[in-house]
């Protein structure tokens, strides 16, 4: 599958390749073909096998764990786990926990490198608040140095199951999980994870 946000990029590149194939401009055709392949790879949206377990939190993004900490956000304490996505990771985000969307806020901001901890607070982002059976959770889609567009598929008041598609961030970016404090990390910094498949935390109450 391909994420729908990639269709305009892929279609544009495909049309350009077809037009230029008629007019022999070999090197340009080659470059546009490479661009077309890149867009197809970047916007890929593979199916994932959701683990059939309770009391777990799944990664919301493909990428590498860059931060694990206990952190206060809006006056509440959370277990924070952050994933950095590079250009070659799948960029479709998935729901880490089942729950009801209670708020979605878009915050304008900077576009510093998303692997930096400060990007969680300074960069443009979508802040998605979810009421789960474990308490409140917050998920952030954070734009990066290259990524300038965060897209959330969910809407306020929706009930979204764990592992469902939540949105996409176009090009390299970051996904922050703010989990209820009863969750304990099941991953380590530097570990690679997959959205909707990798268990990043377990609930011990």
Q: Where are the domains of the chain?
A: 4-42, 56-203
Choices 2.70.70, 3.40.50, 1.10.1220, 1.10.260: CATH for 56-203: 2.70.70
Out of 6-10, 76-80, 82-86, 95-99, least confident range:
6-10
pLDDT, position 90: 92
Per residue in 24-80, pLDDT (tens digit) is 667 777 877 888 888 888 889 999 999 988 899 999 999 999 999 999 999 999 999
Say if residue 147's pLDDT is above 60: no
Report percent pLDDT > 70 for the chain.
Answer: 93
pTM of the model: 0.82
> Are 152 and 140 contacting, i.e. CB atoms less than 8 angstroms apart?
no
Task: Give CA–CA dist 63/80, Å, rounded.
Answer: 16
pLDDT, position 6: 78
- Residues recognised as catalytic: 173
> Are 188 and 154 contacting, i.e. CB atoms less than 8 angstroms apart?
no
Distances (CA, A) of 38 to 12, 21, 32, 35, 164: 13, 19, 10, 5, 25
């Amino acid at each position: 599958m391909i994420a729908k946000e990639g269709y305009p990029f892929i279609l544009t590149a495909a049309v350009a390749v077809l037009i230029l194939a008629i007019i022999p401009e070999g090197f340009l055709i080659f470059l546009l073909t490479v661009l077309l392949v890149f867009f197809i790879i970047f916007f890929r949206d593979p199916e994932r096998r959701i683990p059939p377990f309770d009391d777990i939190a799944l990664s919301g993004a493909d990428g590498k764990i860059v931060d694990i900490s206990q952190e206060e956000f809006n006056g509440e304490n959370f277990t924070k786990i952050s994933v950095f996505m590079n250009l070659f990771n799948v960029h479709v985000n998935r729901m880490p926990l089942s729950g009801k969307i209670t708020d979605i806020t878009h915050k304008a901001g900077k576009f510093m490198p998303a692997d930096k901890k400060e990007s969680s607070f300074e960069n443009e982002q979508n802040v998605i608040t979810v009421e789960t059976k474990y308490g409140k959770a917050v998920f952030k889609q954070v734009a990066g140095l290259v990524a300038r567009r965060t897209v959330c598929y969910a809407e306020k008041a929706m009930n979204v199951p764990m592992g469902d598609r939540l949105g996409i961030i176009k090009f390299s970016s970051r996904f922050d999980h703010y989990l209820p404090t009863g969750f304990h990390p099941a991953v380590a910094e530097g570990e690679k994870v997959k959205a909707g498949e990798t268990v990043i935390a377990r609930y011990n109450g």
